[in-house]
Chain A
């Protein structure tokens, strides 16, 4: 790591609705910042090169790979992790559907999956199964084979659209 990465930078941001001020190493990525500095261990470090999606969190309303964003880049941002989305019940129906459909096994990919699914569902309407599959393809799961995840997202989309039951 070059010396530049060691420089420490002051940042101010909102995480899960709470104000956060911190002095971070300029080379620390957002996932490590959330996990190591704030104790928010819901987002997971897995591939750390932006492929698997296990670290997906919401930054300014969009799903973001926490491993591809440096903590200093989050200065001024509004960040939501699975912990905050749980506390505010923003994805409660999605979480219940994941449990009901057994759309998780080991659970390591799940927080990222939920953020990705939230993004798709926020667009409204009822996406087709293939659209759900395409949208969720940035998030790897090695346990489920994906079908139950597609089922869960589809169920919530239908329920939110007022057709079918959650």
Chain B
């Protein structure tokens, strides 16, 4: 079975073309159906009372006054919910030593961060539920708080969870080669301290769930804004004591995820528990303050790192000491050790060197839990690596592009194993860099930069090569004991009118999953994409699968769709061959018609096969297989992860009087393997770049020393707006993976992985003549002025 991907004129050539997204027309008309748009009979609303303290013992809850509010029906405490819902412990067996205490949907006797739920008020309207929660009187006994990352393990720092013994959640040291010897004998060593700020995803649609327990059927139905419906099904079943087959998770339109909606949240589980207790539909939609205090945070890292280079620019060693503070609990079930682990796995990724040491130290603190957010760990690892490489180049007086070319794995070197023990099947760093140089006219920009510098204009060019981990096998979560599927499936069905329905375990959050699946199925069977209806996000309907995260939708879900479509094509042709009394190998399906393969002459429309199979099966030979529904699953097996690669460049201007950075242009050349829909891939890259730029320039969650979150509103937590963002040029190199027929590797996170490093390097390129350097994100005007020595206090 092969597809001539190289031939754009092949029949049904939809893979590789820009085709319209089937759901876009609905969304531009305001006909989306997000969770908050759903109204069910007897539905009630829940609002949560949340801890105003970062750490406090709960000594009493008085709900008397709240219950007198008109519309308030019930009040639940942590103890009430614990009677129907078991706590969870977010550890994974393969992350050795990772520990975290049991976490309850609503705090039982102790609150550990500002925003942790301590009671729930259920009412006939959200407004009444909020009125009621304002009147709940909770007695707190404040406890000592842990807020500083770097002193979390000090002897005189209080231990947050007594049963854990100390504040260390996880530590991993990886060492390859002889790092100390390499640093001793190096021509130059460059050391730098990096910091990436605590971010959150700011999905425009807040986290939302509508849970409905039907005791007559013994079934829990959850309409949920999630990226992993089957994972949520498993979790709700396990902790609410409902058989897994009696939990149905339906995920309709989702208003942005970026990793935020792939986790288990205490308030959402509590909502399902309350639905079970009250035997009626209960809706919870987070408000914006709740989003800031309870959506997972990410990227809160401090890093000391050094690199050793020879006189010719060869990298001989890297040494990374990464620290991250994950809040009060490891997040269930993916855990909060993965981000630090990724930093260890990904630093130095593009480069061929031998001596590598990296350690991540993951500590608890009294803040909102952190967990996986778009491009998990990548923006940190790429900033460390590319920041060091640029500084080494500057020390050596070498061009930043040249030092990269001297160290990147050769394009013909694969397969290779990195010093972090990552196995790369095939990457294209050099081809990508060459393409970038052409796209951006690197030499021309350098000349322009030099010319403008004469007139006091400080422009910078920043380059960042990167790798991106995609398509995880069970080595990511499954081997650690988490019931998170690495496999995904697709069922494709032909109906009597010759149209197709594809049911997939991967989900749509706006990236275009359904468009991607429709064009794969269209090509796989031989119809136009508008003949394919795609259904995702319903655990009772679609094949079991992992959902959409780690850029796995196209690579895993897409391959399952292609395999099932090809299987259906064979089934259709079996019937057609019998009807036409010819050999199956002489027939093909093109644009909804069974055709003669050699001549392309139409023999029969698919509707005719549908009519015969469904209504006149008596006319077919007895025993002839007529299975017009086919299901296939796909899982990677040759490599634990696929890797994509790419390189980004930022061109910007720093106003050295005000410290303001103006982005002028941004480029990205990336290799996501087979491109299924060029427009959707480019838009994933662009959206990802801007999310990365947000981290580089604006986004930072601030806490004070008492663990109070200081900027919990969109007016105070800055995200990129249209006026500040540049136009972006996106280019591609295509190195399909050989693990699948489709060859797609995934494109959802590359933009975010590389953008912060590119911006950082560009700012430092602009500041270098002034002797300034900045490595603490976000690069605010204040920090830039401090780096320049303009601000000193």
Contact = CB atoms under 8 A, between A and B. Distances in A.
A102 B21 contact: yes
B195 interface: no
Interface in A120-139: 129-130, 132-134, 136-137, 139
A144 B683 contact: yes
Contacts of B724: 137
Interface in A79-124: 81-83, 86, 95, 98-100, 102, 104-111, 114
A18 to B, nearest CB: 16
Nearest to B28: A95
Contact of B723 (A35, A52, A111, A134): A134
Contacts of B727: 129, 147, 150
Nearest to B515: A102
Interface string A6-29: 000000000000000000010110
B714 A142 contact: no
Interface stretch (A42-50, A58-66, A68-76, A158-166): A42-50
Contacts of B690: 144-146
Contact of B205 (A106, A130, A132, A148): A106
A86 B688 CA distance: 30
A1 interface: yes
Given A41-B30, A51-B713, A107-B510, A142 B680 contact: no
Interface string B19-54: 011011111111111101100000000000000000
Contact of A105 (B25, B127, B683, B713): B683
A81 B31 CA distance: 12
A164 B206 CA distance: 39
Nearest to A28: B127
Contact of B28 (A27, A49, A110, A145): A110
B28 A114 contact: yes
A145 B725 contact: yes
B679 interface: yes
A102 B512 contact: yes
Nearest to A42: B30
A139 B25 CA distance: 20
A95 B30 CA distance: 11
B722 interface: yes
Contact of B722 (A40, A83, A95, A149): A149
A27 B256 contact: no
Interface string B186-222: 0000000000000001111110000000000000000
B439 to A, nearest CB: 16
Given A82-B30, A110-B28, A145-B690, A46 B728 contact: no
A54 interface: yes
A104 B725 contact: no
Contacts, number: 179
Which of A42, A47, A48, A99 is most buried by chain B, counting CB atoms within 10 A of its CB? A47
Contacts of B715: 49, 51
Contacts of B33: 41
A100 B19 CA distance: 9
B723 A137 contact: yes
B256 A108 contact: yes
B723 A145 contact: no
Given A140-B714, A143-B510, A44 B34 contact: yes
Contacts of A150: 722, 727
Nearest to B205: A108
A51 B714 contact: yes
Given A46-B205, A52-B714, A83 B29 contact: yes
Contact of A145 (B24, B31, B206, B689): B689
Interface in B364-419: none
B533 interface: no
Given A102-B679, A137-B723, A150-B722, A54 B127 contact: no
Contacts of A149: 722
Interface residues of B, number: 60
A82 B30 CA distance: 6
A47 B714 contact: yes
A136 B130 CA distance: 32
A86 B728 CA distance: 31
Contacts of B509: 105-106
A81 B202 contact: no
Interface string B110-134: 0000000000000000010011001
A106 B510 contact: yes
A143 B260 CA distance: 13
Contacts of A46: 204-206, 255, 288
Contacts of B37: 35, 41
B256 A48 contact: no
B359 to A, nearest CB: 33
B601 interface: no
B686 interface: yes
Given A46-B206, A142-B204, A145-B725, A104 B27 contact: yes
Interface string B760-792: 000000000000000000000000000000000
Given A99-B24, A140-B714, A105 B512 contact: yes
Contacts of A52: 204, 714
A154 to B, nearest CB: 11
A45 B127 CA distance: 14
Contacts of B577: none
Contacts of B25: 95, 99
Given A44-B205, A51-B715, A107 B36 contact: no
A119 B369 CA distance: 41
Interface string B243-280: 00000000001111110000000000000000000000
A133 B725 CA distance: 8
Contact of B204 (A25, A41, A108): A108
Interface in B481-536: 509-512
B208 to A, nearest CB: 11
Interface in B270-296: 287-288
Contact of A148 (B26, B206, B683): B683
Nearest to A131: B723
Given A1-B127, A52-B204, A105-B683, A136 B691 contact: no
B723 A49 contact: no
A147 B665 CA distance: 12
B589 to A, nearest CB: 28
A105 B720 CA distance: 16
Contacts of A42: 29-32
Nearest to B33: A41
Which of B30, B512, B691, B719 is most buried by chain A, counting CB atoms within 10 A of its CB? B30
Contacts of A98: 24, 28
Contacts of B155: none
B605 interface: no
Contacts of B203: 106, 108, 142
Contacts of B624: none
A85 to B, nearest CB: 9
A140 B699 CA distance: 14
Contact of A45 (B36, B510, B728): B36
A1 B130 contact: yes
Given A52-B204, A82-B30, A106 B127 contact: no
A102 B511 CA distance: 10
B687 interface: yes
22 contacts: A27-B127, A40-B30, A41-B36, A42-B31, A44-B205, A46-B288, A47-B288, A48-B288, A51-B713, A95-B25, A102-B680, A104-B24, A105-B509, A133-B725, A136-B723, A137-B724, A140-B202, A142-B258, A143-B510, A146-B690, A146-B725, A147-B686
Question: Which 4 A-B pairs have CB atoms at the shortest separation, nearest pair first?
Answer: A42-B30, A107-B27, A108-B255, A106-B510
Given A99-B21, A114-B28, 13 more contacts: A41-B34, A42-B31, A46-B205, A99-B24, A102-B683, A108-B203, A110-B28, A110-B30, A137-B724, A140-B202, A140-B714, A144-B683, A144-B686
Interface of A: 1, 25, 27-28, 35, 40-49, 51-52, 54, 81-83, 86, 95, 98-100, 102, 104-111, 114, 129-130, 132-134, 136-137, 139-150
